[in-house]
Amino acid sequence: MSLDKSAVRSIAELARIEVPEEELDHLAGELSNILTFVEQLAEVNTDGVPPMTSVAAMALPMREDRVTDGGYPDGILANAPGAVVLRDSPQAPAQGGFFTVPKVVE
Amino acid sequence: MAYTLQGETGDWEVVIGLEVHAQVTSSAKLFSGAATEFGADPNTQVSFVDAGMPGMLPVINRYCVEQAVRTGLGLAAQINMTSVFARKNYFYADLPQGYQISQYELPIVGNGTLIIDMPDGTSKHIGIERLHLEQDAGKSLHDQHPSKSYIDLNRSGVALMEIVSKPDLRSPEEAGLYIAKLRSILRYLGTCDGNMQEGSLRCDANVSVRPKGSTELRTRCEIKNVNSIRFVQQAIEYEARRHIEVYEQGGTIDQETRLFDSGKGVTRSMRSKEHAHDYRYFPDPDLLPLVLDPAMVETIKAGLPELPDAKKERFIRDYGLSAYDAGVLVAERASADFFESVAKGRDSKLAANWVMGDFFGALNATGRTIEDPPVTAANLGMLVDLIKDGTLSGRLAKDVFALMLETGKDPATLIEEKGLKQVTDTGAIEAAIDAVMAANPDKVAEIKAGKDKLMGWFVGQVMKATQGKANPAMLNELLAKKIKG
């Protein structure tokens, strides 16, 4: 399988990666090579073989419906640039707060 | 009557499919242990999983799985014993993971049916395409700052059931009935509280039009996140008319996501989602397939409550109610239960009239709810008994009901206290009639001369003299006998 320039452009856009126009051809070639390499797997006959979802033979573990987490807005917002933290005084623990991002208007 | 829209070139039909997002009534989120309660301080109900921090792993909430199965069973749908979680990839400020964990090719619930009852007494089966479990996104606030949007992730990761209908709906009215019925079923099952104001139930509408009589499916537009039944109906109508206008002017409709502006009553294109149609779904490598235990499904099935359709049928059969009355009473489980406690062992039609008439009126007037009623079911039942055994006339019963509302006392006590008992003693009524006749010999003469209309006046006078307590049937009979001989 090979990818053309416009496919690479749209993948880059979906992934929010800025790719200069002059690099598109080169990337299309590289990505096509990767896909061709992976396609070798299709040579194996998998008729009647169920898809393997895990190397460990186990069922999806489940959790009970109990509140065991959360309540640390300070921690959640610690590394967020421009976060607005709400607290009663500078020493008080956060009562909550917001991440802030450039305005998204619909 | 089929719903059609008249265009310049002829009649058009609208084709609607609805996607309802119903928040599961869980205490914790779908894949984390953070709380789900509505209205908490921003970002206080967020775990590192919900914030999309690197290395955090999702662990599914068993209760949410059970509620999805329960809802599927309530919609008479196929339960898929194996389902798979997939990542739906898109960028948005309130989606910290960069993808939503959802279900794609293998949802937990498959084909089902929902029956809507049309006002003309017919019913219509609406296909359910699927129900799947997915995470909710966070919330953006745009009015806090001139150039920034504020993001609160409290809702991020809350469990949603996305319930997708087939494109079987043909009018805004049907869409409204579908949502109302689905909400009713969810509330009966207790799997979603159905609160549209708080966003526990949200609706996306897929709308397209086609010339009447055609069976083609034209390009649809999706109207996102409409939060009331009325707005869904308005949005559908506006969108259908927009499509017709475009087609009749020779244009084409692009498949796109649109927003409904409830202030202006219009839909408009949501530009930010222009590229959002390519979600690049793939199975989430953090989660194994969800394999259900057949015993668990059986236990849930055995514990299902009587649902609105079955209850309605039973009310019609056992209580002799009309389809309309039964439909109104079963819409909410609490109203149905209230009616049953009033009606049990009594005249059920009389009970239904009182519950749906004066009692529902009193709920509206007092702003109380059926869970906290201004008159208890036991007291209303007692009132029905007192009407039935002739102690109270219909008119007196209304007075007693007003007193019950005011005082909270039971009707028997009130009748005793206020002396409101209906007079069924022939002698007493006759005495009152005699007094009125004696005081108005001229009017008696007029009636005897053939002026029958005056009978009503006499009834009124005697009622007045007895403070409305005379038994109306006996009064009419005795009056006619006395005056006309």
- Residue-wise pLDDT tens digits, A77-98: 999 999 999 888 888 888 899 9
Total domains present in chain A:
1
Same domain, B260 and B174: yes
Quick check: A75 contacting B, CB < 8 Å?
A: yes
* Kind and range of the H or E run holding B72: helix B62-74
Q: Count Cβ atoms below 10 Å from residue B288 Cβ, excluding itself.
A: 18
Mutate to test the interface with B, among A67, A77, A85 (most CBs of B within 10 A): A67
**Out of A53, A67, A82, closest to residue B288 by CB:** A53
For β-strands B85-89 and B99-103, DSSP reports them as antiparallel
Of the residues B300, B318, B344, which one is the last residue of a structural domain? Answer: B300
Mark yes or no for CB contact B89/A76 under 8 Å.
Answer: no
**Out of B50, B152, B272, closest to residue A104 by CB:** B272
Cα separations in angstroms, B353 against A16, B64, B325, B339, B380: 63, 40, 9, 10, 11
Query: Does residue A55 carry a pLDDT above 90?
Result: no
User: Is A80 a member of any domain?
Assistant: no
Predicted local confidence at residue B275, as pLDDT: 57
User: Is A24 a member of any domain?
Assistant: yes
Quick check: B259 contacting A, CB < 8 Å?
A: yes
A84 contact residues in B (CB cutoff 8 A): 150
User: Is A16 a member of any domain?
Assistant: yes
Locate the chain B residue with the closest alpha carbon to A12. Answer: B275
Same domain, B126 and B258: yes
Phi-psi region of B462 (alpha: psi -120 to 50; beta: other; left: phi over 0): alpha
Residue type, B174: E
User: Is B312 a member of any domain?
Assistant: no
For β-strands B201-211 and B221-226, DSSP reports them as antiparallel
Same domain, B209 and B258: yes
Predicted local confidence at residue B432, as pLDDT: 81
User: Is B307 a member of any domain?
Assistant: no
CATH, residue B444: 1.10.10.410
Same domain, B336 and B400: yes
Mutate to test the interface with B, among A60, A74, A87 (most CBs of B within 10 A): A60
User: Is B308 a member of any domain?
Assistant: no
Same domain, B412 and B432: no
**Which residues in A66-103 are b (16+ Cβ under 10 Å) and which e?**
ebebbbbbeebbeebeebbbeeeeeeeebebbbbbbee
Mark yes or no for CB contact B47/A54 under 8 Å.
Answer: no
Same domain, B362 and B434: no
Q: What's the domain range around B446?
A: 426-484
d(CA B415, CA B393): 12
For β-strands B148-152 and A96-102, DSSP reports them as antiparallel
User: Is B23 a member of any domain?
Assistant: yes
User: Is B276 a member of any domain?
Assistant: yes
Predicted local confidence at residue B412, as pLDDT: 84
| Burial group, residue B277, by CB count within 10 angstroms (0-12, 13-18, 19+) | exposed
Locate the chain A residue with the closest alpha carbon to B268. Answer: A106
User: Is B318 a member of any domain?
Assistant: no
User: Is A29 a member of any domain?
Assistant: yes
Same domain, B435 and B340: no
B142 contact residues in A (CB cutoff 8 A): 103-105
Same domain, B348 and B210: no
Mean pLDDT by 10 residues, chain B (485 residues): 86 97 98 96 97 96 98 98 94 93 96 93 94 96 92 97 98 97 97 94 96 93 91 96 95 91 90 67 93 97 96 95 92 94 91 93 91 92 87 82 89 79 74 83 81 81 78 79 74
Mark yes or no for CB contact B44/A73 under 8 Å.
Answer: yes
Quick check: A79 contacting B, CB < 8 Å?
A: no
Same domain, B276 and B370: no
Quick check: A70 contacting B, CB < 8 Å?
A: yes
Tokens (6 digits) for B348: 């059920």
User: Is A26 a member of any domain?
Assistant: yes
**Out of A16, A63, A98, closest to residue B150 by CB:** A98
Q: Which of 386-445 (B) contact A at CB < 8 A?
A: none
Predicted local confidence at residue B271, as pLDDT: 64
Of the residues B300, B319, B343, which one is the last residue of a structural domain? Answer: B300
Q: What's the domain range around A14?
A: 5-43
Quick check: A101 contacting B, CB < 8 Å?
A: yes
Tokens (6 digits) for B249: 């002017």
User: Is B96 a member of any domain?
Assistant: yes
User: Is A50 a member of any domain?
Assistant: no
Q: Hey, is B447 helix, strand or coil?
A: helix
User: Is B324 a member of any domain?
Assistant: no
Same domain, B469 and B333: no
Mark yes or no for CB contact B43/A99 under 8 Å.
Answer: yes
User: Is A38 a member of any domain?
Assistant: yes
d(CA B454, CA B478): 15
A106 contact residues in B (CB cutoff 8 A): 259, 270-272
In tens, the pLDDT along A4-51 reads: 999 999 889 888 899 999 999 999 999 999 999 999 999 999 999 987
Residue type, B306: E
Tokens (6 digits) for B173: 């009215």
Cα separations in angstroms, B430 against B52, B288, B423, B472, B477: 86, 86, 11, 13, 10
Total domains present in chain B:
3
Query: Does residue A105 carry a pLDDT above 80?
Result: no
Quick check: B26 contacting A, CB < 8 Å?
A: yes
Mark yes or no for CB contact A103/B42 under 8 Å.
Answer: no
